[in-house]
Amino acid sequence: MKKVGQIIDRAEQHCKSSGARLTDKRKQVLTGLVKSDRALSAYELIDICKAEFGETLPATSMYRILEFLRSENLAHKLNLTNQYVACAHITCDHGHAASQFLICGQCQKVKEISVSEATTTELRSEIEHAGYQLATSQFEINCMCEECLANAA
């Protein structure tokens, strides 16, 4: 289970070191993302903030908060679904490659993984060979999680 308090504390330290501020509302949104094992829309996060913290946030504020969290590398946007997840590496001390996401097509659970630079380079080469240009190095892969696989058996 994720230690939410430790993750939020680490995120706050990260923001301070970069000259930014993790306000209470930003902490609430990040907490909602950290507690979830699936990607959430801005509107789902608005509902979570209201239910868990009694905070009513307008959509424009939520999108600004999410953009802040993205700019600080504390959250990621899944482009295919227009949803957000907390970065899985907030408490890590090492640098990270481009984020890759496994998304369960059954339950929508999301897992962030690392893919080697060699794999990314090879894929980029194959894409260019096919006459396309890679728009982003973030991959979002439709999968089935272990739990859904077990339930399907």
Tens-digit pLDDT profile for residues 68-112: 999 999 999 998 889 999 998 898 866 666 778 999 999 999 999
- The CATH architecture that domain 4-86 belongs to is Orthogonal Bundle (1.10)
* pLDDT at site 67: 98
* pLDDT at site 135: 86
- The CATH architecture that domain 100-152 belongs to is 2-Layer Sandwich (3.30)
Domains of the chain: which residue ranges?
4-86, 100-152
* pLDDT at site 24: 96
CA dihedral 105, 67, 4, 14 (to 10 degrees): 130
Structure tokens at 16: 């301070």
* pLDDT at site 1: 44
Residue ranges for the chain with pLDDT beneath 70: 1-2, 93-97
What's the burial of 91, exposed, middle or buried (CB within 10 Å: 0-12/13-18/19+)?
middle
* pLDDT at site 134: 87
User: What's the sign of the alpha-carbon dihedral 140, 145, 151, 153?
Assistant: positive
In 10 A of CB 109, how many CB atoms? 19
CB 18 within 8 A of CB 71: no
Of the candidates 112, 141, 97, 136, the one whose C-alpha atom is nearest the C-alpha of residue 33 is 112
Percent of the chain with pLDDT over 70: 95
* pLDDT at site 89: 87
Give the span between the Cα atoms of 81 and 97, in whole angstroms: 22
Residue bearing tokens 């939020």: 8
Residue bearing tokens 């908060």: 65
CB 15 within 8 A of CB 72: yes
